[in-house]
Amino acid sequence: MAPTVLHVRAETKPLEHRSAVTPTIAKQLVDAGYVVNIERSPLSIFNDSEYEGTGASLVPTGSWTQAPGEHIIIGLKELPEEDFPLKHIHVQFAHCYKGQGGWEKVLGRFPRGKGTLLDLEFLEDENGRRVAAFGYHAGFAGAALALMTWAWQLTHGKDEPLPGVTPYENESLLIKDVKEAVESGKAKAGHLPRVLVIGALGRCGRGAVDLCVKAGLEDIIKWDLPETSAKSGPYQEIVESDVFVNCIYLSAKIPPFIEPNSLSSPDRRLSVVCDVSCDTTNPHNPIPIYDINTTFSSPTVPVKLPAQANDLPLSVISIDHLPSLLPREASEAFSSALLPSLLQLNDWKHARVWQQAEKLFTEKCNTLPEGAVDGQAELVANQSVARLDAKTPARLAYTDLRKAINIRGDNATEAASGSYKSAVEKGRLLYTHLQCADVQSHYQWTDLERYGWTADRRKQPRGIPSDIQTPLLSDPGDVVGGLGCPRIEAHDPIEPKDVEWDHLRESTVEGKHYNPTDAWYKGIYYPKLGVLIVSNARSPRYAVEQEKRIDEWEGGDLVPLGLLSDVMFLEYEHLCKTAVPPLQVRDLRYMFRSQIVNKETREIIFEVLKRRGVVNGPVAWPGTAFKFPSEEALALLSTPNGRGAAWILISHRAELGWKTIKQITVFDNLLSASERSVFREWSHPSMLIEFEDSKAPQQDEPGAGKQEQ
């Protein structure tokens, strides 16, 4: 009988550095007769080289989508939010069994593809205890961030949130930072914080308590079922503590531990809540004072307090991947605990732990609402995306990629927009491709005219769009802090260059006929300063959609050379190479999107600003900056006006080198503050997208680090 193949997929969530199968465990699985395929991962705490010598095979990132159906796919966190059916057995945390938001879409993909979900959260031993969990390190990390936040509030004031954090190499370094923070907070407050932990006897609670002890705290209140069962919530004891850490396992509706009204108590000391359980979208969440997950890049969210509340701030930490703060230690502990169950996967149908997981999967599938298994109208398009995802870039014709662009590229329609959550997940997937993918455009600048494009080159530029003049032309040392580009009046022989490409001519290339589409890309270029300005864009697909003649249009295919990421980059590259002396193409640093009117992009812009407390739309320069990989930045990246920048970096890496996106700044210099408050819908936002150099993935052999498409 052929050996069982375990395919360990790469995690896609930014800052998720853990792995379900560590190098140590991979070797033990191989020694037990399993074939183990490990996807290369630029995010994992374990370098690809650490798996060498284990007997496991390194395979391309994302290749699980095209693995044979009998392979078992192992991961940690949920899959990217897409809709193509799932045909494999998946071992992972799916977060779709407790009524979480969007659960039916996540779960429905499995029966639709005749796949099976064996959820790690519900693997139990004979005594009903979970066989493996990250709970201890989740509680440990959550309590650490809670104490850091308590100290930060005291030393920096209530209006400055805790800065982003990055994973620690080991526990000792984390404890050192926590101790230093607590001492600084004690110096301000005159006392150490009182911490209340609910669920203190479980794995998660023990981790939280252990961190508090190692940090030198003395006033630690440890509650579990006896205390919460003695009386009903909300609990005044929480309000009278400095820090509350929630470590319960929520399986049914319970009275709230705390609610907005209880925050008006004059005895409130509470300034930090860490919801390690993180049941944010669960309708029975016992901490109904917040409604969004936070991230390591933005660890806290402020709570809106009642008018009669005292002046103390209140912040919530609701990170759903807390163990990633200590990714190596958390992974080693989890993977070791999971090993006995993994060793039963070669006969999982007859292994009790996996039998129970399959039974639960079947029961949950039976609760799916009508239509969830059938899928949505965009299923066919998403299946195409999935198939493209799994192809090797070297064998993939670049023109085929535009089939996937309708979902993820710079040419997508509003039909692909979805919700804010969907935008975040699509942005996350694109951001992962930005770090891993190697899909190269084969087009050259000379191809533009071959495919029917005509250039309008103006000796004197028409003018810098008024909305971006301040950020573009202001000196970096000014109060407003701009890029310091020269004005048009400077008559620089090299820049700025005003070039418009129009698709107005028929063309025949390699025997295929393409009709004109009346598309255009209008740009202003500063090649010496690495600035590309998209002043107006109308892609071929969008142009013919306006005429309702998409795909086969007037007897000819839609022109394949038509993406913003190709047309405008090729012009930028041409200007660099023909300058005297020639300029470095890879010095591209900034991209402006001016006066955005796209409905999908505008909706996401207003949503991310609202989550930052900016309610009347974009403000004047310097605007609002969203750094990667925050959820807001990922959502902006997913928009039609954002993703073109990502595809420039992905598909022209040979010319640009390895780059990533540092941040996206949103602003509107056309409306005054008073006008924004009244005429919010008149806002035509602009975006400044900033690039920066990044390191290439570690390459241990030819082709290493490349992601299949």
Q: What is the mean pLDDT of residues 166-192?
A: 95
**Pick the residue with more confidence: 54 or 696?**
54
Structural contact between residues 547 and 556, judged by C-beta atoms closer than 8 angstroms:
no
**pLDDT tier for residue 460 given thresholds of 50, 70 and 90:** low
Q: pLDDT tens digits, residue range 529-588?
A: 899 999 888 888 888 776 544 444 444 468 899 999 999 999 999 999 999 899 999 999
Q: Minimal CA–CA distance to 90: which of 77, 99, 103? A: 77
The structure tokens listed for 195 are 């911490």
Task: Decide if 397 is inside a domain.
Answer: no
Lowest mean pLDDT among 275-284, 477-486, 584-593: 477-486
How many domains, the chain?
3
* Catalytic entry in 17, 87, 88, 95: 95
> Which CATH number does the domain housing residue 154 bear?
3.40.50.720
Ranges 75-79, 234-238, 385-389, most confident: 234-238
In the prediction, which pLDDT does 393 show? Answer: 35
In the prediction, which pLDDT does 374 show? Answer: 61
**pLDDT tier for residue 256 given thresholds of 50, 70 and 90:** very high
Q: pLDDT tens digits, residue range 639-654?
A: 999 999 999 999 999 8
Task: Decide if 579 is inside a domain.
Answer: yes
Q: What is the mean pLDDT of residues 431-452?
A: 83
Of 307, 328, 349, which residue sits at a domain end?
328
Confirm whether 512 is a catalytic residue.
no
Which amino acid, 56? Answer: A
Task: Decide if 427 is inside a domain.
Answer: no
Same domain, 125 and 166: no
Task: Decide if 387 is inside a domain.
Answer: no
Same domain, 478 and 552: yes
Confirm whether 231 is a catalytic residue.
no
Q: pLDDT tens digits, residue range 93-119?
A: 998 887 777 888 899 999 999 999 999
Q: pLDDT tens digits, residue range 351-360?
A: 999 999 999 9
Task: Decide if 482 is inside a domain.
Answer: yes
Which amino acid, 200? Answer: A
**Domain around 119:** 5-131+331-365
Task: Decide if 145 is inside a domain.
Answer: yes
Structural contact between residues 523 and 500, judged by C-beta atoms closer than 8 angstroms:
yes
Task: Decide if 456 is inside a domain.
Answer: yes
For the full predicted model, state whether its pTM sits above 0.85: no
The overall average pLDDT reported for the chain is: 84
Same domain, 150 and 125: no
Strand 35-39 relative to strand 57-59: parallel, antiparallel, unpaired?
parallel
Say if residue 630's pLDDT is above 50: yes
Same domain, 92 and 158: no
Strand 300-302 relative to strand 315-317: parallel, antiparallel, unpaired?
antiparallel
**pLDDT tier for residue 440 given thresholds of 50, 70 and 90:** confident
Structural contact between residues 77 and 337, judged by C-beta atoms closer than 8 angstroms:
no
Burial 366-402 (b: 16+ CB within 10 A, else e): eebeeebbebeebbebbbbbbbbbebebeebebeebb
Sheet holding 57-59, edge to edge: 57-59, 35-39, 5-8, 72-74, 89-92, 116-119
**pLDDT tier for residue 674 given thresholds of 50, 70 and 90:** low
Find all residues with CB under 8 Å of 147, minimum gap 6, and list them. 178, 181, 182, 185, 193, 195, 211, 212, 215, 217, 243
**Pick the residue with more confidence: 401 or 98?**
98
Same domain, 71 and 116: yes
| The dihedral sign for the CA sequence 339, 16, 707, 58 | negative
Task: Decide if 390 is inside a domain.
Answer: no
* Catalytic entry in 17, 77, 522, 528: 77
The structure tokens listed for 535 are 């002043």
Same domain, 216 and 306: yes
**Collapsing DSSP states into helix, strand and coil, what is residue 353?**
helix
Q: pLDDT tens digits, residue range 590-617?
A: 999 988 888 889 889 999 998 888 877 8
In the prediction, which pLDDT does 399 show? Answer: 40
| The dihedral sign for the CA sequence 371, 377, 381, 385 | negative
Classify residue 502 by its DSSP letter. E
**pLDDT tier for residue 81 given thresholds of 50, 70 and 90:** confident
